[in-house]
Each structure stands twice: as structure tokens, then as C-alpha cells.
Amino acid sequence: MGVLNCDLAKQLGAETLGARLWRLKPGEASTRHRHRATTELYVVLEGTGRVRTPAELLTLAPLDAVLVEPSTVRQLFNDTEADQLWLIAGAPHEPANTLAMSPEELAWIYPDGPKALPVELGARGT
């Protein structure tokens, strides 16, 4: 969804861990998605972070963190006026080649489609 990010795991040659820095500008969001095997750690480094899971909507301050288990749908979004900077780490690393996935697999990973925005950003699209 156009989010600025840096693949730390690739830079470090990590094969069993995924790790990225993501910068979300106001009005941006990650895709609403889930993983089959990866547990992900989300840490807010700058700004006020927002994370939605089926169980809750979290608001995180800098250095707050949340752990999201596999199969749990999650979405980061920025409904504030300032940038957010996130450290996102996950294991085991689960590479995703969406071009090689079946429509059923894509629908499981992205239950609302790969471009759905949270209601806090004023729209839901597919």
C-alpha cells in the first residue's frame, strides 16, 4: 500500500527471521493480513501507533510493543497527524510470493482484499 520500508533481515542476511522498519505517514495503513506460521512483534519507535486485531484496537506509545500470533488478522494504520516508525520482526520467516498464490490462498491471507483500509481512515476498498 505504498508504505516506506527497509528490509533489515535481507540487509543482515537473516534466513529464519523477518525484520523491517516501516514508516507510516498520516492516512497510510499496512494491508489487513495474517500469516500461516509467523508470529510477529510490532514495536512503535516514533509516533502513536494503532493496531487492529479481531480482539482489540490498540493505541501504542513509543517503545510499546504487541505480539501477534499466526493466523490472527492484523493491520497497522496511522490516523494521526504525525509519522509513525515501526520495527516489525517475525519468525519463522515466511516469504510470500503473491504472484504464485492461488485465489484461495490470497483470500485467506488478505480477508478483505489487499487494499482494504481501516474504517478510521474513512474507507474500505478492495
Per-domain residue ranges of the chain: 4-112
Query: What gap in Å lies between CA 30 and CA 32, rounded to an integer?
Result: 6
> Which tens digit of pLDDT belongs to each residue from 14-30?
989 999 999 999 999 99
Give the C-alpha separation, 73 to 41, whole Å.
Answer: 14
Q: Report the pLDDT value the prediction gives residue 125, as an integer from 0 to 100.
A: 45
When pLDDT is cut at 50, 70 and 90, the band that residue 91 belongs to is very high
Which residues sit opposite 59 in a β-bridge?
A: 50
CATH top-level class of 4-112: mainly beta
Tens of pLDDT, residue by residue over 18-67, are 999 999 999 999 999 999 999 999 999 999 999 999 999 999 999 999 99
pLDDT of residue 1 exceeding 90, the answer is no
